[in-house]
Each structure stands twice: as structure tokens, then as C-alpha cells.
A = this chain, B = another copy of it.
Amino acid sequence: MPKVVDPEARRRELAESVWRVIRRDGLEHASVRNVAREAGLSMGSLRHYFATQSELLAFAMRLVHERVQRRIAALDLSGDPRQVVERALQEALPLDAERHAEMEVWLAFTARALVDPKLRALRDEGHSKLRELCRRCVEALARRPGLDVAAEAERLHALIDGLALHRVLDPATTTPQRVVELLAAHLDELAGQA
């Protein structure tokens, strides 16, 4: 009699296997075969979840989005808007080991999506969600009359993606503490407190 498996728990296990392979060996080694080996599953079992490498990659990228969204949804939104905004944006930045792994996976997928149209819709979805979060943060903070909300949201979004990139590329200089300070200074300026 086959073992009864919680499909959600199995999906999480698979996701973790995909991430381990990508972080250790690079995206080009995250084949269905290698991920099955990493997860200790047969190719047949794995193919219940995804039939091709593109589906596997899409699966792992979707997980990054879900994790970020889940953390943002769990935020306590009460209190000073300046603090709420800062906490929300920090969830999109690689400030601990979990978010650092997400950023490395995101970077690998983003580069891959340049040449794999199937991945682009998912990449664009994450991009749009972060842009929308930035817009809401700017609206919550900025009270300067005549402020260009769209332009400030685009600048904030570019700053966040740039800081996330530098955190991964240059971790010795761009420490978590430094990212937090630079974001805080930018938000203070937006809120007119700098």
C-alpha cells in the first residue's frame, strides 16, 4: 500500500530541494533528474509535480513570491506609518539567511527569464507586486505637496532592487545593517524628516 503523503508537505520538500541545488550548483544544474536525486525521490514521483525543467523553475520562483507575500500579509499594520512601511519593505530585502537565499534564486531566475519566455510572466508578476507595494508606501509617507508619487515609487523600487542586488554581490560592504540604514534614510527623506 503506498504511503499517504501530505501533498503540501511534499511540495515544500521539493521546493527546498530545488533551492539547495540552485544555490550550490547553479540554475543550469537544476534538472528534474538532479532535483529528484536531491529530494531522494524517483523521477516518476517528481513528475507528478512538474514534467519539465521549465515547470520546475516556475515552481521554485512562485515559491519565492509566495514567501515574500506571506510575510508581508502577516505584518502588524498598526502603529506609525513610517515604521509599518519600513517593516514591509524590509520583507523584500535579503536581510537574513532565508531572504538571502530567495534573492539568489530570484537573481538566477531573472537572468534565465531573459531567454526563457515561459518564466517571464512569473517574473513580471513579482516585479508588479513590489512596484505596487512601493507605490502604497510612498502614498502612506509622502506629504510634500506636488510630490510625484509615480516617480517616487519607481525610485524606491529601483533603490530596493539595487540594495538587494548589492547585498548578494558585495555582502562584506552591503551588510544587513547598512541596507537597513540606507533604506531608513531614504524613507526619512520621503517623509520629510531628513
Give the docked Cα–Cα distance between A151 and B104 (Å): 24
18 CB-based A-B contacts, threshold 8 Å: A23-B114, A25-B115, A26-B115, A28-B28, A107-B114, A110-B165, A110-B169, A111-B111, A114-B168, A123-B169, A124-B170, A151-B182, A155-B159, A155-B182, A158-B165, A159-B159, A160-B162, A165-B165
Q: A135 at interface (Cβ–Cβ under 8 A)?
A: no
Which B-chain residue is minimally distant from A109 (CB atoms)?
B111
Tell me what chain A mostly uses at the interface: helix, strand, loop, or mixed. helix
- Give the A interface residue count (CB, 8 A): 40
Contact status A185-B27, CB under 8 Å: no
* Measured CA separation A1–B34 after assembly (Å): 50
Residues of chain B within 8 A (CB-CB) of A115 are: 23-26
> Interface on A for B, CB 8 Å cutoff?
23-28, 104, 107-108, 110-112, 114-116, 123-124, 127, 151, 154-155, 157-163, 165-166, 168-170, 173-174, 178, 181-182, 185-186
How many copies of the chain does the oligomer comprise? Answer: 2
Q: Which residues of B contact A178 (CB under 8 A)?
A: 154
- A165: contacting residue among B116, B162, B173, B174, CB under 8 A: B162
A51 to B111, CA, bound (A): 25
User: What separation, in Å, do the CA atoms of A186 and B155 have in the docked complex?
Assistant: 9
Tell me if B111 and A151 are in contact (CB < 8 A). no
A158 to B154, Cβ gap below 8 A?
no
B155 touches A165 (CB 8 A): no
Which of B26, B112, B161, B185 has a CB less than 8 Å from the CB of A26? B112
- Least CB distance from A28 to B in Å reads 4
